Each structure stands twice: as structure tokens, then as C-alpha cells.
Amino acid sequence: MIPDDLIGIFSVDEFEILLNGLPFIDVMDWRENTQYSGVYNKDHEKIGWFWKIVSEFNQYQLSKLLQYCTGSSRISIEGFR
């Protein structure tokens, strides 16, 4: 049951997003908020190849990659920040 103080604050769609995360994966947001370590950085040649390939993925493929990387197929309401 939804607590009385939350009724009317969120629409059904907003509440679903709050619980489940955003259904759309923004590759640029993902890329801009990825942290690298070791010899890798955002300008590394292999990282460039990775993002080139990922940018060609459809939303289904992105959700599967995200699930592999994070354990969740959706991102939080705040994006990748």
C-alpha cells in the first residue's frame, strides 16, 4: 500500500520511474560519467573503439550491456551521475 503522504505527489508513470529507473539509456550520458582506472582514460584508443561500438547498439542491446556491467538493466532517475 502506498503511504497517504505520497498519494498525489507522483503520477503513476513518475512513481514507476522512481521505483524501476529510466527505460531509455543515453550513451553520451553513460560515456561522460564513466570513470577509468589504470592505463585507461577517456582518450585511450581501445576506449574509443568501445564507445564507437556501443553507440551503434539499440536500446535492448544497451540494456543487456548495462545489466552485465551493473546488475541492473535500467539507470536511476538521475542518469549516470
Distance between CA 79 and CA 81 in Å, rounded?
6
Distance between CA 27 and CA 80 in Å, rounded?
10
Distance between CA 17 and CA 22 in Å, rounded?
6
Contacts of 28 (CB under 8 A, 6+ apart): none
Predicted model pTM: 0.70
10 Å CB burial of residue 47 (0-12, 13-18, 19+) is middle
pLDDT in tens, 29-53: 999 999 999 999 999 999 999 999 9
pLDDT in tens, 2-33: 566 656 676 776 666 666 666 689 999 999 99
